[in-house]
Amino acid sequence: MPHTRYAPDRGLTARMVTTMFFIGLLYVVFIGVLLALFKGAWPLIVIIAGGLFVAQFWFSDRIAAFSMGAREVTPQQAPELHGAVDRLCALADMPKPRVAIADTDVPNAFATGRNQRNALVCATTGLLRRLEPEELEGVLAHELSHVAHRDVAVMTIASFLGVLAGIMTRAALWGGLSRGSRNNNAGIAVLLIPLVAAVVYVISFLLTRLLSRYRELSADRAGALLTGRPSALAAALTKVTGQMARIPTRDLRKVEPFNAFFFAPALSGESVSLLFSSHPTLERRLEQLARVSAQLGQAGRS
């Protein structure tokens, strides 16, 4: 990880390496099954798998921004947002990412990009309307931590592999079954491939959820330590989470696919099982920030 003033997190690094290892292994096994069943279609399988993976990795920031309706803004268009990002980047000693705004009333923010030089940080208009300046800086410090720790790139790759498994399944079945009677494995594939793809998706989903919950806690801690104002981040968390219940369900459903990348999950009131949640509970996040506040208080008195 390039040097920044964000506090390093060895636990996060270990979890990212472990997640990528197991998901990569799972994906290799999946591709191996496809190649074994559809030997004649292996060029198509390799081209699609490689092409989609490279496209996702290199253009993840643009894909996420486009999907969310985010538009890049200049310092003249959003002086307060750019000013906050400028101050935090100077404080963290890291390159300034591109800055964007998404026109939605859902109060949230996200960061994306494969590295610090290609990162993008986005805040929604709903977030900008609701937060005080110090609260906004707390949220942005949280998001910039994802960029500094590079966990946003790992999450992008890991979450995409499950989607890619589904695309590869359809491509392999189309390529193999189109040969009809010439492919003796066609009947087996109809039963086996959807099952294998489902297993790949479920395991990928659970692994990314485990990593996502830890990385949110890591970003809360790192952002609070950088700014020295954990109370501002706690206030932003409480405000954003409380406002979610007032957002129309149709708006929440539009952004639900991006929950794993958001500052706070966009949910419509009903609690989600911890096993499937992309974020730790609000109570756990606030408890951690209270410990950080106590830690900073002790350091200030010593």
Residues making up the binding site for Zn(2+):
142, 146, 216
**pLDDT at residue 240, as a whole number:** 93
Half-sphere exposure in the Cβ direction for 86 (13 Å, CA): 8
**167 is written with which tokens?**
């695309």
Q: Catalytic pick from 72, 143, 256, 270?
A: 143
pLDDT < 50: residue spans in the chain: 1, 177, 180-181, 269-271
pLDDT per position as a tens digit, 69-89: 889 999 999 999 999 999 999
Task: Note the pTM of the prediction, 2 decimals.
Answer: 0.85
| Helix extents (H) in the chain | 10-37, 42-68, 79-92, 125-130, 133-149, 151-177, 186-227, 230-244, 249-255, 282-301
Residues making up the binding site:
142, 146, 216
pLDDT per position as a tens digit, 104-141: 999 999 998 878 888 999 999 999 999 999 999 999 99
At 212, which amino acid appears? Answer: S
CA 199, 57, 206 angle in degrees (round to 5)? 30
Mode of pairing for the β-strands spanning 98-102 and 120-124: parallel
**pLDDT at residue 118, as a whole number:** 85
**pLDDT at residue 163, as a whole number:** 64
The question of whether 143 is a catalytic residue gets the answer yes
| Chain centroid, CA 70 distance in Å | 16
